Structure 1
């Protein structure tokens, strides 16, 4: 376990935090610059939307495989290799843009590669966390990571990426490559700790001469998650809520202009409110969970989910909308801290990669459906319809899961009802 000073998070976590923060800043700039590049060269809305599709498609295609690989490989070296490959790809993309070679298809290929790498990088990082910090500090560590990502990816990367793109279309991609390279170097300097090496957390021992297939490993992780009552509930719950949330955010621009009377600046400020809320939740998440417990945090989150959709459905006030997004940002950060820490405590170390990836697969699998749903429902029933649907779904999900989320949970304050690795069977 990482040594700590005055209950600090330790040197290993400091390297890890800095690496992920730097790469988040670069990744955020690319996410901003990619649609701008397509828009400036083609003017096609369909091709612009293709950048988001290319960036997120790997989560549907490869996340389960990535989780199985993470449980077989050295997790630290996997993260280093991923960022090294992404550094080369981003640098090549920047050169291609500067020389006006490759165009949109080179960008799509790079985004697919970045997204595929992210499925490995994120699964490895989540799975390595219990080896980097003491168990009772997981909420603090996850909160610090969330705060760093909010500031770097959501607050700084947007304006910085737009400014750099205006100066030179290639600049955001070149800097993104440099950020991946810095991240790889920092992760390579990470002290070797028990639980970060594949030899220490490899797949379950098989009979001599028998090599387990990836399919077997993937199914084992999925079965473990589905057999665990609490984690299964959380995965299905957030998957359903993410469908309606994505639908709501997909048409937020229409709501802002047609109902709230905002221009492009006001629309951008709504996302600023969301990011500020996320930062507040990340910084104070550990205190909140310790003060009010994980059970209260999750149940309160379901109330916030329903209230968020209801506020945007009934109000035409920009101030109310901004406050709703800010509170939702706080809830989103708290939810992430609690659920990530629960997975890290409850899942056996040898299965963390597969369980984390299976959870993320279920949680993110409905995002593409939600984006399409938002457009179809709005075109058919009006701009507030997705928010009314979101409210109804949130209330139904809360009613169905309220009892499960009322059970004791293993947090920094205590072990809860089950020891880590012991599934709550339905």
Structure 2
């Protein structure tokens, strides 16, 4: 049964069939061939979507599209230029910092690239950076978004692994800062070696104060979200709803740029993005059920524990598996397929669920910028009209800080568990 499923799934991928369709079609054909009950097709798919934490996904996407529609990304970019732009390689540092701030609104790598990529790469090119370098740092910085709250992949992981979504989101704060610092150190080293340019902006104190005042409402969005989670009164879904209301409020009252047409466009984009994600969730749940019937999770658990019961060794094995999977599978599909298989064994061996979620997501985000199916690479290639191979060359130096950050998060579980333990206990 398992062999049939995997062969059908692999054949679909080779033929270029979308991942969600591959998951559902291979599961349905396997169920038919092996005479399993057909009502499972509807039951498992619908039950996978009947989840309160998953309600946060469309709400966070809606909040990000609303904020992007108000034009706050331009204000954030200009503010960060004023703060660090005069450093050598300053605009590249701005790229990373804006990705960190915007990640507190979007929660997805491709959303960050879509909202910021064109602006950032154009600005860096105008400042004298090579287009290859600009594309590389833009892609690498987008890995911060899916780790820092509100992280859509972490919410999906918590749902798949049946762990606390609030703790999973809080666990991403410190590791996201680790990734940010690692990228900024890499830029500083490259700035000295390559004599990268300084920014041309020379703001006065009055101009900085004015830009900060304009940007403050947008900067308060992630603060409001994290404060809501820390308070204990709101879960991810409630916080997401508050952020949507806040985004509408500042878009209409403060920035006065959120017109009915832009609101409608943001709603349509949200529906499209949500449909794509939840289609994967539904079909992956069906795929995971067939694997469970084939005893794949049990066999995988026995094999892993047969290799070692040391949590660190198991995490290192998982890193290799996820890095390879991330090269070929869309990140949410990979989480929904792999997490139910390995999470029970990992948790039984003593791996903290918070650390496990961060390791999962960070590995798969690195997969987004790894050929042959690195979606971030293709997206930037389309935005910049650069050759795909040029984009890959641009991102190569930034594998170093990302793998360093992954090693640090893997070796030191406290980075992921400290904040959830501090707040929730």
Q: Normalising by structure 2, report the TM-score.
A: 0.30
TM-score, normalised relative to structure 1: 0.30
